[in-house]
């Protein structure tokens, strides 16, 4: 089993914001595979699953706020008894230009509070991550307001091709979407 966590904030207030690009990517995958998310309150998550290449794939969206993402990740990790090598977290990265994607097998949390919480709760940096760039030229200095702002119409229109490329990167590095 492989588990993909997409990071974001719950609630309609945060839909389609830069900080929720991890949720948006998982929604893209769920739609592509014809599955829906189901609320799992005990796991502090919404989860969708499908089989691909003979392997179960879990798509997990934490229902905690971003800064407490590690609570959900820890609960899912323990409940499903998966190894760190079977986890991948997809999240926004303010230090990558909009449209850039970067896969890493392990690494630090950088400036991302959700990732900091996950590293803390798992007591490890040894899990995969897929960073989706949200940086724009001349971004405002108030990072909190910036990451919680919505994508421009042009950026939003570009997300499908970015998500397609992200899926290819995951296919090459982490998953089998056969």
Q: Are 128 and 104 in contact, with CB atoms under 8 Å apart?
A: yes
Length of the chain: 178
Tokens of 11: 């609630």
Measure the CA–CA gap between 176 and 57, rounded to whole angstroms.
9
Q: Containing H/E element for 61?
A: strand 55-62
Per the residue annotation, which of 19, 33, 112, 141 is the catalytic one?
19
Known catalytic residue at 19 = yes
C-alpha–C-alpha distance, residues 45 and 80, integer Å: 13
Conformational region of residue 48, where left means phi above 0, alpha means psi within -120 to 50, and beta covers everything else: beta
Q: What is the rounded distance in angstroms from the CA atom of residue 9 to the CA atom of residue 22?
A: 10
Taking only Cα atoms into account, the Rg of the chain, rounded to an integer number of angstroms, comes to 15
Catalytic residues: 19
């Amino acid at each position: 089993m492989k588990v993909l966590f997409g990071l974001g904030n719950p609630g309609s207030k945060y839909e389609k914001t830069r900080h929720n690009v991890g949720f948006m990517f998982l929604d893209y995958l769920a739609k592509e595979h014809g599955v829906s998310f189901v609320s799992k309150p005990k796991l502090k998550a919404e989860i969708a699953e499908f089989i691909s290449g003979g392997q179960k794939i879990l798509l997990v969206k934490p229902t905690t706020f971003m800064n407490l993402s590690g609570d959900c990740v820890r609960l899912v990790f323990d409940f499903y008894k998966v190894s760190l090598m079977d986890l991948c977290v997809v999240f926004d990265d303010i230090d990558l230009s909009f449209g850039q994607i970067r896969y890493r097998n392990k690494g630090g949390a950088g400036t991302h509070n959700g990732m900091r919480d996950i590293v803390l709760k798992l007591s490890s940096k040894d899990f995969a991550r897929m960073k989706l760039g949200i940086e724009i030229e001349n971004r405002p200095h108030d990072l909190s307001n910036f990451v919680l702002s919505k994508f421009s119409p042009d950026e939003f229109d570009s997300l499908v091709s970015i998500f397609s490329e992200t899926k290819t990167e995951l296919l090459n590095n982490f998953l089998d979407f056969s």
